[in-house]
Chains A and B, each alone.
Chain A
Amino acid sequence: MPADRPRTVYFFGTCVIDLFYPGAGLAGMELLKRQGVRVVFPPEQSCCGQPARNSGYFDEARAVALRQMRAFPEDWPIVVPSGSCAGMMKTHYPDLFDGRPQHGQARAFAARVFELTDFLVNVLDVRLDDRGPPLAVTWHGSCHSMREMGVVDQPKALLRQLANVTLVENPREKECCGFGGTFSVRQPEISAAMVADKVAALEETGTARVVSGDCGCLMNITGAMARSGSPMGGQHIAEFLLERIDG
């Protein structure tokens, strides 16, 4: 329960959102702002460092991680519109600096990291007023949001608050979409098979839109949808929620 509701939060935009989906970032900040929270977007931020870490380039990942740790100096929560980037900062920053002088700093930083939907539900306890027309959507949870951040029910709870939105769950919700960062180009055939299956599972819901909290997955899934001529599209949950409450 939201014992101490923060007055100010940091927003970490993520590199994918920065370049490809800035609308999702703006929507995330707007949602927070409408809850009466001051939102600060430090311009020195760049990327969580996950691409380097997952590729085994630990020194490079540490250099980038340190830059982020410096960019968010105040003791405010850091809200991240991506379970994957949040997972990197929350679980892997401490690991990356294990046995190094910055370990304490990394742990303190990690403790301030929140995934956006988790923050909206469990810290801000938001109530959403749906003004949009009736619509059915399905949800795609990213592997890292589910398994590193424990974010499974929070986004669905938000979607279920929307009176005119029907959430149709898809049969393979817990299965990876096949993105995996560099995996998608290092193992292109396997990744292609995975995303094809994912699109098929989403299409089975009969909905026109998949909503997700991670733009990496969305880029993969909607890219495959567009390429295969699927009638479906996708949207980041922050943009979707904002669209609904604005009507």
Chain B
Amino acid sequence: MSEARANILARLRAARRGAVPDRPDWTPPAYGPDRLARFRAMLEAVHGEVIEVTSATWTERLRTLLAERGVTTAMAAPDLGLDAAWAGRGPEVVAYDRPVEAMKDRLVHDIQAGITRARAGIAETGTLVLWPDAAEPRLLSLLPPLHVALLRLGTLADNLSALMAEQNWAAGLPTNLLLISGPSKTADIEQTLAYGVHGPKELVVLVLTDL
């Protein structure tokens, strides 16, 4: 309704202009050498799990943690190389390689774990930054009851401001950018926390400390 548009903008323009205030300085916190400790403490406080691994150990650690949870079907991007690393000793690894319309049933009912990379982490709030793409689509971190994310320690930033400036987010955002801080939760019933209401019940972050 372009008439609505014109009317709304005309009313807004007819108003007396007010001053446009400057943005005052605000410096979000930084953690220096305690960055990982902060990240871990914040994520654990919201029921997330943080495990330190290296590029040499992570596939095996992932395999055992999936086995501990009885996961038989996981979903991950093929280029993570899990099939090759596990050589048949791990759970079945399904690729999200077709449009959701063709994958919906498996995603909603079968897949027990979604494995994704994180583009970065934020220490202040214990947050993962996900930048879903064709290989690791959006629902991979949402529909399965367990989400495992790989985070390179070198990408851990102090705070959101620093990260978005450093990576120049304003120059181009993906279709969907996600900040994830813990598993899905609700407190709608008497402010009592319950996990896994719509998304994952469990979030595990593997921090690659050598990368």
Whether the complex brings A and B within 8 Å at their CB atoms is answered: no
